[in-house]
Structure 1
Amino acid sequence: MSAPQQNGHSPIDAVELRRAFGTFVTGVTVVTTWDGEGAPRGMTANSFTSVSLDPPLLLVCIGRHAASFPAFSTSTAFAVNLLHEAQTDVSSLFASKSPDKFGAISHDTVHTGAPVLTDCMTWFDCTVHDRVEAGDHMVLIGRVQAFGTSASAPLGFCRGRYAAVKDPLPAGWSPSHSMVVGYLIEHDGRILLRADGHGGWGLPTARRRRAEHAVDLDDVGALPLLSDSTFLYAVFDVGDSDPGYIIYRGRLEDAAPAAALPPDLRFFAPEDLPFEAIPVREIRSMLRRYLRERSSDRFGIYIDSSDGGRVAMIDGDARPWQASDA
């Protein structure tokens, strides 16, 4: 302990203070957002905590000297990704000055459009609730719009090094609280994909499907789908990671404004689908199944399992459901 000065204040040694703060065991997060040019930005941080359940708030502290500070100081949304014990390499990557941190990291969008790491332990997708200036850091307070978690063991950090945490999931806890809802949409013989911001492609996502067969794509608005072609198509996890995927298939109505979509959404002819640029293996496999099934106009519903999954084929034309069918 430092001796008090004559004015009653103790001299603070910044190095020793940092070491003292470091004795508090924390998890490790990667905080992500988009910069003003549409590029994904992210950094490793362990100054994270929950703030409130009603409204659902959390906070993370962003250092002013961080390369991605300008992006976090102006963005309207961000995600906090809690890493699991096998992700020390991800922690080191996002703590580095690498110019391409997202190149080999699978990520997706869920609600706000902020990049969510698909292989993390827990994620929180947030809109910015407030920013508070605090010394050499900015306290970024987020309102949680969506989240998901898994049974993975967390990556811990203490005294300047990684730490192991045992028994991460007590009995009775749910291993997952959310799924990514994606859409396999066809129009005029072409399939709709969405750019992920770093050269890759994936399916467009949405929070929900309307009962009248319109889908609210993230940041796009409602697109009308043909009612007789809109069905559940696949349910699967990505390895053992969270979030999982629920995929619907559908066809855009002929009168829908396909040409007015934003530039990150693009229709591809089947022979031009960029399989090599789709980072999620399960999405690639699902698209190949869809191409096979569309050739005979006979589609199935897939659910994963330990031995490779099950497909149930849908036979016959769609018909309206009546209460008498119950």
Structure 2
Amino acid sequence: MTITKPVGGESATLRDCLARWPSGVAVVTTVDQDGARRGFTATAFSSLSARPPLVLVCLDRSADCHPAFDGAEAMAVHLLRDDQAQLATRFATKAADKYEDLSSTPGLSRVPLLDDVLARLECELVNRFDGGDHVILVGLVRRSEVFPGEPLVYCGRLFRSLPPEESSV
């Protein structure tokens, strides 16, 4: 039996519907005007254009780090490995010192670059768009790196790993 309800507002049905869509998990970092490192966990991340190389990420306007990204010149998007759910949770937690005991190196515009991730994109922030209770950050990719590992996936309100790839013979 299928139950349908009108979509809108903060309905539980809408949240349940959207929770069924799997997505990768990223940590997005920047520095604020005082040079303090800021960041958040995002599942709303996407490639936007190949020419020029643009990506987008959505940031909740109520996030502690929203003001930092509102005035930032650059951001780094870190795609997480399947063993990094704890890192995703750390950057999703409000009012936490997200960088405590975490090594990072300065990248483009001194944005913190996290080590040991699946992939990393350093971006110049070129645009921001209204997205309701979120802001859509558009970054021009200036540098990208890929590292070994498998992606962390978020689906059904849980972190998951993809099954091992089956070999085709």
Fold equivalence (TM over 0.5): yes
Tell me what 1:151 maps to.
Answer: 148
Q: Which residue of 2 aligns with 1:125?
A: 122
Q: How does 1:56-135 map to 2 (within 5 A)?
A: 56-135=53-132
**Secondary structure of 2:108's aligned partner:** coil
User: Could you tell me how far 1:98 is from its partner in structure 2?
Assistant: 4.4
Larger Rg: 1
* Aligned-pair CA distance for 1:88: 1.1
SS across alignment from 1:16:
helix
Cα distance per residue 1:164-191 (max 9 Å; x no partner): 11347x9xxxxxxxxxxxxxxxxxxxxx
In structure 2, distance between residues paired with 1:144 and 1:167: 30
Secondary structure, aligned partner of 1:86: coil
TM (normalized to structure 2)? Answer: 0.90
Distance 1:121 1:115 in 2: 16
Tell me what 1:19 maps to. 16
Q: Which runs of 5+ in 1 are unaligned?
A: 3-9, 171-326
TM-score normalised according to structure 1 size: 0.48
Aligned residue-pair number: 162
Deviation sequence 1:149-175 (CA, Å, 0-9, x none): 11201111101001111347x9xxxxx
The answer to whether the 8 Å contact 1:153/1:166 transfers is: no
Deviation at 1:19, TM superposition (A): 1.6
Pick aligned residue for 1:54 from 51, 55, 62? 51
2:41 and 2:86 map into 1 onto residues whose CA distance is 11
Shift of 1:78: 0.5
SS in 1 for 2:90: helix
Q: Residue type of the partner of 1:159?
A: G
- Does structure 1 conserve the Cα–Cα contact (< 8 Å) formed by 2:63 and 2:94? no
* Equivalent residue number for residue 40 of structure 2: 43
Instruction: Provide the residue aligned with 1:311 in structure 2.
Output: none
Q: Give matches, 1:167-186, under 5 Å.
A: 167=164
Deviation at 1:61, TM superposition (A): 0.2
Query: Over the residues paired in the alignment, what is the CA RMSD in angstroms?
Result: 1.6
Contact 1:51 1:59 in 2 (8 A): yes
Between 1 and 2, higher relative CO (CA 8 Å, sep ≥ 6) is seen in 2
Distance 1:33 1:111 in 2: 9
Q: Deviations over 1:95-144 (max 9, x none)?
A: 11244211211111233321111111111100011100110000000000
Q: Helix, strand or coil for the counterpart of 1:112?
A: helix
Gaps of 5+ in 2: none
Contact 1:45 1:61 in 2 (8 A): yes
Q: Is 1:33–1:79's contact at 8 Å kept on the other side of the alignment? A: yes
Partner AA of 1:64 in structure 2: R
